[in-house]
Amino acid sequence: MHSLTQSYMTGEGKGQLLYETIGSCFDRVVAANQDRPAIVVRHQDRRATWAEFHADVENLAVGLLAIGIEPGDRVGIWGPNSYEWVLTQLATAKIGAIMVCLNPAYRLVELEYALGKVDCKAIITAEKFKSSDYLALLNELLPEIAQAEPGALESPRLPCLRTVIRMGEGVTPGMLNFDAVCSLGGETERRQLQSLMRTLQPDDAINIQFTSGTTGAPKGATLSHVNILNNACNTANSMQFSNEDSLCIPVPLYHCFGMVLGVLACVSVGATMVFPGDAYDPVQTLRAVEEERCSALHGVPTMFISQLDHPEFGRFDVSSLRTGVIAGAPCAENLMKRIIADMHMDQVLIGYGQTELSPINHMTLPDDSLENRTQTVGRPIPYVEVKIVDQDDRVLPVGEQGEICTRGYSVMRGYWNDEERTAETIVNGWLHSGDLGTMDRHGYVRITGRIKDMIIRGGENIYPREVEEFLYSHPAISEVQVFGIPDEKMGESVCAWVQLKPGSALSEDELGEYCRDQIAHFKIPRHVRFVDEFPMTVTGKIRKVEMRQSMIDELGLQA
């Protein structure tokens, strides 16, 4: 292997990138796998072969054409994981409409912002999920809908929104039913669909993902067929996937992890997608793996922790597992080792990236050393360039810490209708991640923190990731999150929230003693809180911003 001196590497690939639309790839794979199982949605008791699934996708596609959805129109999808969600993903791609992923946890203000930001023409919505009554929220946002003819909504708050399509069998004034839309298309629309398949281009925008940074309103990362199809295909190839495999997908579809690394990865090779539930549940997931004999399982680290630590873990047979992707947050070394040993996932991969990169730009591979598979996020994926730069955008020597930047096919087209923030993020084709890392001489990258996460204590730079890795080595600790809180004397002080393994005990003094003489004194947490859970996003990312605010309130600090 070529030895690097600078922190720059191009991912090596075999063959060509796919330069086709998602629709043409889907048709090609379906033709080769007609009678094989395509999708299992256990909580809806839905199963379909590729031929059956293809027919359902086509019915929705022509139905959307029949109600006036055209290429380039934005169609929102709002709800938890479901059969209808996956149909919407493939049907919008086939007609060239841009699917807008709406967080199932959105409330009124967030929903109105997202729909208005990208001028959605239609929204496809579930009835309800957890504490959210979607239909009631939509009626509150759009009081005109009750009197509107379905498909002819006129609202001053959202002037571009014309159609609301609701899932389920109930009837709601002003809304179309999902199943009814699937039966609307006729021969005219089917001919139109065939014509579109010849005119849509691989570089067309196909998906908008809202990503919220640490400041400002959410940004709509705009992704093309080429962006997400190749990222999905690379993931399938890295997992050594074929149409014999089945993937358990407990991660949410509205996020790139579910819809790209899950659905599209399966679509690209004809593997079976298995959805254990509408939202993540550890027992549901383990039961799905056992009963469907899944060969792969995706998840964020907190999902794997909750399965491994569950008191019923031992009664499930997960020996069918071989691979899967851990992504969405850094994975601690001891957790990776437990996943390999206790879940039979010898070929599990670590994926790293961000929504703006479709979403993966680094990945470990099954034949990487255990050290590289547990301590790094791997090397650049095929066909993308990665460099690590200093504050002046200069490439750093191997081993020095700087910001991770990526260039290549996976870089988003930009933030929808936001040239200023796009220009801040993409410079000369390079996407700046905001993540800090180091690259070794073979191209393996270690994530050392976020530029904005860094704690500055009395002039010392402290990277929470480094402190977390040390604390994970304590046998009583299951999960730990380290962050900075304001300190009048030092500027910031180190705070740790700690979740213990079941049956374990640990005091703040004992934890301090464990750190003493093992890590630098200024890195030892001054504040420790033992918690049962962490505030999380729907995708399982831990929200340090909420934890920090909680400590500020508790301690009466000035932010």
Read off the pLDDT of residues 343-360 as tens digits, 9 standing for 90 and up: 999 999 999 999 999 999
Backbone φ and ψ for 185, nearest 5 degrees, come out as -70, 145
Beta bridge partners of 485: 493
Query: What pLDDT does 516 receive?
Result: 83
Query: What pLDDT does 267 receive?
Result: 98
For residue 156, what is the DSSP state? S
Query: What pLDDT does 521 receive?
Result: 81
Query: What pLDDT does 214 receive?
Result: 39
Q: Which CATH architecture has domain 459-555?
A: 2-Layer Sandwich (3.30)
- 35: tokens are 């009678």
Backbone φ and ψ for 306, nearest 5 degrees, come out as -70, -25
SS3 per-residue string spanning 125-139: ECCEECCEEHHHHHH
Look at the alpha carbons of 458, 459, 464, 466 in this order and tell me if their dihedral is positive or negative.
negative
List of the chain residues with pLDDT < 50: 213-215
The SS3 of residue 99 is strand
Q: Which CATH architecture has domain 22-36+46-211?
A: 3-Layer(aba) Sandwich (3.40)
Average pLDDT over the chain, rounded to whole? Answer: 93
Residue 503's Cβ-count burial label (10 Å; 0-12, 13-18, 19+) is exposed
Count of residues making up the chain = 559
Query: What pLDDT does 309 receive?
Result: 93
Cα distance between the two ends of the chain? 49
Query: What pLDDT does 379 receive?
Result: 97
The SS3 of residue 49 is strand
How big is the CA angle at 125 (ends 122 and 128), to the nearest 5 degrees?
Answer: 155
Query: What pLDDT does 492 receive?
Result: 86
* DSSP-derived pairing of the beta strands 37-41 and 128-129: unpaired
- In the numeric block, the tokens 């498909």 are attached to 151
How big is the CA angle at 497 (ends 495 and 502), to the nearest 5 degrees?
Answer: 155
Q: Where are the domains of the chain?
A: 22-36+46-211, 459-555
Percent of the residues in the chain that have a pLDDT greater than 90, as a whole number: 81
- 457: tokens are 């204590």
Contacts of 107 (CB under 8 A, 6+ apart): 132, 137
Report pLDDT digits (tens) over 425-435.
999 999 999 88
Closest CA to 300 of 277, 324, 264, 323: 324
